[in-house]
Structures are given as C-alpha cells and as structure tokens.
Amino acid sequence: MYLKQADLFWGLSQDFIRHLTAEATKQTFLPGDKVFCVDDPADYFYVLIQGKIRLMVGQPGQGVYISDQIGEAFGWSALIGRDNYSATCICDQTAVLLKFDKGHVLRLLDQDTQSAAIFFKHLAGALGDRLLHLYQTVK
C-alpha cells in the first residue's frame, strides 16, 4: 500500500490505516491540471502515488515546492485548522493521487488518540522540512 511509503503514516495502527484507506479515492490528473487552488476550500488532503506536482504561491508560475516522491502528502491545510488552501497545486506530469476527506480523517484521529499523536508529530516534522526547503529556496 502506498501509505507505507508515506512518512506521515509511519507507526500508525493497522486499524487506523485500514479505516483511513477505506474512504480514500484514487484520482488521476494530467499535466497542467490543478488539484486545488489557493483560497479553495481545504476539504481534502492528498498522497502522491505517481507523477510530479508543484505547489505555487504568489505570482503565477512561481513554484515553491516540487514533489515526485511516492507517498509524499500535501494539501495539509485541510488537517491543520485552515478553511482554505494556502497554495495552488498543479501537476507537472501525469499524477495519480490518493484523496482523503478532511472530515473522515479528523474523525478517525479523534477516535484513535495514540495514532493522532504520532500522525501530528510526523505532520509537524514534514511541515518543518518543507519550511527549511523554502528557506533554502529563498537564499
């Protein structure tokens, strides 16, 4: 399963992962397709299964982060209390994504506090890594 390759899900209970993936949908996007745009309602988060995506903020075409790593999660705004996405996500190559509903994920996390603690610890680490990447890009 793709989630085993996602750092965000390491150490979570098998039961949690089973319930999480039961509601996930697989979607394919073509090059140039937008997965979401800045200020769209943040109702989903995603895991990259195949392809390459670019996150952009500011001026059109100004990429701030590119991912082609299988299992990488993005669209985190949906999980950290934001109502809207803070970036635009565009596919640079055909991309296959797992799409997770925010409400479903948050309900599961509420029901499994041990998995929730691990999940949010991993999420904080991933956000920190992304922030460091942005600092290096700005240099």
Distance CA 49, CA 100 (A): 13
**How much is the pTM?**
0.85
Report the chain (139 residues): mean pLDDT per 10 consecutive residues. 62 91 95 96 95 84 77 89 93 96 95 93 83 70
Q: Domain 2-132, what fold? A: Jelly Rolls (2.60.120)
- pLDDT in the model for residue 130: 75
- pLDDT in the model for residue 127: 81
Within the chain, strands assigned E span: 25-29, 34-36, 44-56, 63-67, 73-74, 88-101
Q: Are 12 and 115 in contact (CB under 8 A)?
A: yes
Distance CA 126, CA 104 (A): 21
Sequence ranges of the domains in the chain: 2-132
- pLDDT in the model for residue 40: 97
What are the beta bridge partners of residue 100?
A: 45
* Helix, strand, or coil (residue 48): strand
- pLDDT in the model for residue 59: 66
